[in-house]
Structure 1
Amino acid sequence: MLVPAAVAFANGNGNSADTSLRALAAKQGLRFGTAVDASQLGTNKAYTDIVADQFSVVTAENAMKWESVEPTQGVYNWKDADALVKFAEQHGQVVRGHTLMWHNQLPSWLTTGVGNGTISNAQLRDILHKHVTDEVTHFKGKIWQWDVINEVFANSWETPQADGLNANDFWVQHLGSGIIGDVFRWAHKADPKAVLMYNDYNITGEDGTNVKFQAVYNFVKDLRKQGVPIDGIGEQGHLDTQYGFDAQRYQADLQAYADLGLKVAITEADVRTFVNNSTEQVPTSSLAQFAQPFEFSELLKGCELVSQCISFTAWGVHDGDSWIPGTFQGEGYGLLYDVNMQPKTVYSTLQQDLELAAGTAHHGALGGDK
């Protein structure tokens, strides 16, 4: 599938002294990635160079979401998504597709139709089936991992069903929990070689409990017993220095998923903290400048210690282009590069982590296939 391992990791013309994140991660069979704003590729040179040089796997931050690819019903716009896939092919990278079924960033024609009753639940199921089939088919053979289902389990502040699913989730409300297995089946039929993931946050105990982890674990274990073609779990890894982080619980939970026969991946890593403003994003606490790289390091090391962890992805390239300031008031500084696209302390910390783990065994990552 995709590109040969030797090509995928040939960064810096094969220079053995290459200290990029992608080259260092390759020494343990791990892919190191980032979420990418496809519209900046080729137009923002500094941004483009970082993406090309530092990362071996890229995720479409928004370009593959439903509202982006089908803003008008039946009319597809693959421009940005295709551009990202082409860029990845040119730079020896593989692609994570994000995401096929999620309650957010849906096209307005869909949510309006469901809301006013012009789209029935039966029609909604057919529309979802077509969307999943069309998108996976469009990219067949070009996507390494798909985030097939995104964020359908309840958090501690949400209403859970008996199985732990969020009772208020758009898809669960309208189509029931059985839709989850069906979407995995549809995606597998459209591209049998793609690695199919369930992706979510707080599923390795970040909120201080294992309630959500246990719900996901039990549900996925049952899906596997039913023969549903789910290949892995994506733990997003959004952390905040004010809450602390139980790295041992996180690693144990990753391993528990892996022990079910699943691959695991860190899919959206960032570590936010309080900052002076959203433009400069200077931490207001000097301690945060140590906590941010420390927690990022713990995220990476937990992945390194689980042999089935196949990729580690930061959710964005630099702080100036991060989702954090617009979502969490007064917070930012969550990524590896600062607002001026200069590497931060966390960058060198992760370099050191990767260097220390060079030569350890990871499985299934290099070839790209399942």
Structure 2
Amino acid sequence: MLRSGRSSSDRSSSRDSDAIDSAHRPEPRTREGGDDPAVEPRSSSVLSRALAAGVCAVILAGWSGVRIDRATQAVETPEVTPAAVSHPAAEKRTQSVLRASDWRYVPGVSARNGKLHVARTGLATLRTSPEDQKTRQPTYQPNPPVALAGPHVVLARRNDVGITARLQRIRGAATVSFLSGPNRRFDERVEHQAGIDVSLTRSVATLRIWNGEDRRPRRLRMRLEGPRRSHAQITVRQLDHRLTVAVDGQRFPVRREVFEDQVWFGLSATKRFVVSALDVYPLGGTRLRITDRARDPFARVTPSRTGLASLAAARGRGDKQIGTAVDLAQLLANPAYTRYVLRNFNEIQTETLAKFQALQPRRGRFQFGELDALVAFAERHDLEVQGHALIFGEAYPRWLHRTLRGASRDEALAIMREHITTVVRRYDGRHGHGLIKRWDVVNEPFDPDHWGRLNQDTIWYRAIGESYIAEAFKAARAAHRDGEFGLNDWSIETDRVRRQAVIDLLRRLPRGTVDYVGLQAHFDEDTVDDDEVMEAILGGSLPGIFQEFADLGVQVRVSEASVAQNGDARTQAAVYATLIGACLRSTSCLGFNMWGATSNEWYFTTTPEGGIGDDAPTRQRGNGRIVERPAMSAMRRAVTR
């Protein structure tokens, strides 16, 4: 299900891009008569002034690290390294981010012989809208890899820091990102945190400056001096609220600071490159440390006795999944939220990590790093993982859209089967990558406008026809005989027409094809304002709905619950309590899952004033503290009945 948070179109437009050409080199060229033998001194006063100017230039050059070429009088800026800055102790305090950390979970990155080898991933996010579906011309936003389950730098006391990255064997464009935090990733867009991207080709450096608010970055472009190169050094220094960036000594005039208390790193390539060094060092009294999220900092966090899953287990319902959807970035970059998840739930659901565009952004080139990290995290904490979603009419990569547009039915089936088989088999618990036993195989196959029929405008229906659903389940079951496989869609629990369409589909499929149906249970503002719907739900309609599917030999799960508050916390609490209570009391309901357990800048499906939704049972304040709404207490009471 899409999270429709603040629209990127609501953001203010960015400033116009600035182009920096060779006229914006580090310093202007100068000539001093006392240093050039071709210039005759005209008088003693002229000579005195020339000598004084030359002495001043030498003094200034020594103070600023600028070198004057005596043959041409050109002022050149050298590469800025820890030893060249005006903090002599910095070199001794330099730490290697590369060698002290685990990079195995970063997409497109492999560590070999003390270096990072970076290859193209093609990761991008499909921007989905009704217009895209009708015109069939999808657009994409780049989703460059960030070291989430890997190293980042934590700053204390001050935010002054120096960073040096050395790149080798650059083929195509090489990009290194320095971010104040991980980007926020949604099904249909990426929201960039404040930071900078430095992209290099053999002769041009491009800087993209993100302020964390505008939809587009400010761009600066500079032609690199000297011969075309396949290697470069990037130096980033933030000192006294000013940021400078240099590539092989040529400086960009950034001026404003971007880092607050952390620095995260991203690496992406159009072809490939090698990182031979990535070093950080404190400036101006800052204290820094490198923390590695691949080495679990939450090992000592255990389930709370008052957590929802613990309360259910104490009532003999420990077989029920109780959890929330998570993104790896949120899970590893928001410690308060992570602790809340670990204390309350026994299951986490992949939000975007297991969708087609995340796992196979290029044909035949799978990117499992982040999903591997999520599954490893879950296993360390004894959490089940709900896989979501293998086949979806959205969240697909560009190559898939182009290929299926001209593919035969057999070719389309082969692509779908290969993808499902590769993914499901990897996480069958037998191949060393952990276990995902339960998968949403087909997600939202029904028409968003005509609720009683399948959506015939998806790429899968157009290429294969209705049989893509049965074929997808057949491929999943062949890949993991012990797995559980479901169909997931919205409004099944609130709309009779949609529910009957799902039942009719199940009857057309061979019995045993679908193990469960996911009832998304998104109660947006309009649903909560619908008196007829609310009367049915709060009046006890759910057990009968569960039974309708049980009669077909199909179980259910509440898969993506979210309930808009609409200024009425009591009704929100009642709906949440009804959903989880009905599931726990039913033998045919597998579990209860929310689409985010707290309302913050990452999780919201409603957009009231202020930009943060009100549809989760808790709210995270700006200081990180999670405050429970009445809905959380209501769910605890429902679990213990």
Do these two structures clear the TM 0.5 threshold for a shared fold by scoring above it?
Answer: yes
- C-alpha distance in 2, partners of 1:34/1:122? 37
Aligned to 2:388: 98
Aligned to 1:146: 439
Residues 584 and 591, structure 2, Cα contact 8 Å, conserved in 1 = no
Aligned to 2:487: 198
Structure 1 residue 182: Cα displacement: 1.1
Aligned to 2:521: 237
Q: Secondary structure at the match of 1:342?
A: strand
Partner residue of 1:171 out of 448, 453, 460: 460
- Counterpart amino acid of 2:440? D
Structure 1 residue 166: Cα displacement: 2.2
Aligned to 1:57: 347
Aligned length: 321
Cα shift readout 1:282-323 (whole Å, capped 9, x = no counterpart): xxx3xx111111111121222133211111001113111214
Aligned to 2:628: 343
- C-alpha distance in 2, partners of 1:78/1:334? 31
Q: Looking at CA atoms only, which structure, 1 or 2, has the larger radius of gyration?
A: 2
Cα shift readout 1:138-178 (whole Å, capped 9, x = no counterpart): 111311310011111235x2275xxx322323322221111
- C-alpha distance in 2, partners of 1:213/1:354? 26
- C-alpha distance in 1, partners of 2:330/2:572? 26
Change (3 A) 1:332 1:323: closer
Residues 323 and 349, structure 2, Cα contact 8 Å, conserved in 1 = yes
Aligned identity (percent) is 29
Aligned to 2:588: 308
Residues 132 and 186, structure 1, Cα contact 8 Å, conserved in 2 = yes
Structure 1 residue 50: Cα displacement: 1.3
Equivalences for 1:13-28 in 2 at 5 Å? 18-26=305-313, 27=315, 28=317
- C-alpha distance in 2, partners of 1:343/1:14? 17
Structure 1 residue 100: Cα displacement: 0.8
- Tell me how large the CA RMSD over aligned residues is: 2.4
- C-alpha distance in 1, partners of 2:357/2:569? 37
Q: Structure 2-normalised TM-score?
A: 0.48
- C-alpha distance in 2, partners of 1:14/1:63? 25
Q: Structure 1-normalised TM-score?
A: 0.80
Aligned to 2:548: 256
Cα shift readout 1:210-250 (whole Å, capped 9, x = no counterpart): 11111111221332xx2453211111111132234222333
- Counterpart amino acid of 2:436? I
Q: Structure 2: state its 5+ residue gaps.
A: 1-299, 430-434
Change (3 A) 1:110 1:200: same
Partner residue of 1:184 out of 463, 468, 473: 473
- C-alpha distance in 2, partners of 1:229/1:327? 41
Residues 303 and 342, structure 2, Cα contact 8 Å, conserved in 1 = no
- C-alpha distance in 2, partners of 1:159/1:256? 18
Change (3 A) 1:306 1:158: same
- Counterpart amino acid of 1:133? T
Change (3 A) 1:87 1:327: farther
Find out whether 1:128 has 2:416 as its counterpart.
yes
Residues 39 and 80, structure 1, Cα contact 8 Å, conserved in 2 = no
- C-alpha distance in 1, partners of 2:312/2:409? 45
- C-alpha distance in 1, partners of 2:337/2:366? 27
- C-alpha distance in 2, partners of 1:239/1:79? 33
Equivalences for 1:37-116 in 2 at 5 Å? 37-115=327-405
User: Relative contact order (C-alpha < 8 Å, sep 6+): which is higher?
Assistant: 1
Residues 606 and 615, structure 2, Cα contact 8 Å, conserved in 1 = no
Aligned to 1:278: none
Q: Structure 1: state its 5+ residue gaps.
A: 1-10, 275-284, 357-370
Structure 1 residue 251: Cα displacement: 2.8
